[in-house]
Amino acid sequence: MSSEATAFEDEVLVEDRGHVRWILLNRPEAMNSITPRMLGQLNDVLKAADDDDSVRVVVLSGVGRAFCAGLDLKQAARGEGIGGNLTGGARHFSTREICTVTLQRMDKPVICALNGAAAGYGLDLALGCDMRIMAENAILMPGFARMGVVPESGGTWYLPRLIGWAKACEVSMLGDTLSAQQSFEYGLVNRVVPKAEFESTVTAWSEKIAANAPLAITEMKRLFRHAQTQDFESHSHHVLMSVLNLFRSEDFREGVQAFAEKRPPVFKGR
């Protein structure tokens, strides 16, 4: 994390590296466990990244040895924080400002850089990202059943889609901790890398995506999202409309010209 990072009340850090925006959970002394303030700040910075034309890729990670240990259980035990606030009933609870809902709505691609353990809400946050790169020393901890709860912020939706019904039941109902290699074999992460190569790998992936045509990347993500609720013929119609619009873009002309001239394209998102 460079000195150019901007602090939002110290619980969320934001740093722009070219067209890539790094967002880091910043409660390392508590393994980046979630507080109401952190959730609000994270939701705000995710929305800001999605609305910022200079941002082409978002990287979500954590400071210290953990990605996110889930809700702050010490707060909950005192009747405070998110867990404490919900124990009296969910009638005042709304999904509108949940970070995992925001992640699902975002058009910018989001890479989760799993630098360490992800548990509970932290695991759901990771599943809500488009791609996951995991350090070989990191672990996933789907221990919801052992805590008497369910994957409350997206896991019940993502797990069957990512790894199939039977595997989703295995992961969530057994509640066993998964190593990085198990996570990769299950299809929960895209890549496992040695700790020494972790940040450079995340940087290489994010910069490579950011160098591609941002209009096309955004449209891919929108179409992937819509395809989950559309039949093939309806979806094909939407794909055709998207392609026709992209054919009119400056980026498409630049891509064709760069290919003809055998040089790297320089896309402007127009």
Residue tagged 């096309």 (tokens): 216
Distance CA(146)–CA(144), nearest Å, equals: 5
User: What confidence tens digit (pLDDT) does each residue in 163-219 have?
Assistant: 999 999 999 999 899 999 999 999 999 999 999 999 999 999 999 999 999 999 999
Does residue 91 register a pLDDT over 90? no
Give the domain ranges of the chain. Answer: 6-211, 214-260
The whole model's pTM is what?
Answer: 0.86
Does residue 2 register a pLDDT over 60? no
User: What confidence tens digit (pLDDT) does each residue in 27-78 have?
Assistant: 999 999 998 889 999 999 999 999 999 999 999 999 999 999 987 766 555 5
**What's the order of all strands across the beta sheet hosting 139-141?**
66-68, 117-119, 139-141, 178-179
Give yes or no on whether 6-211 and 214-260 have one common fold. no
Which CATH architecture is the domain 6-211 placed in? Alpha-Beta Complex (3.90)
Find out if CATH 1.10.12 is the number for domain 214-260. Answer: yes
Distance CA(54)–CA(26), nearest Å, equals: 24
User: What confidence tens digit (pLDDT) does each residue in 136-164 have?
Assistant: 999 999 877 677 667 677 878 899 999 99
User: What confidence tens digit (pLDDT) does each residue in 124-133 have?
Assistant: 999 999 999 9
More confident residue, 109 or 9: 109
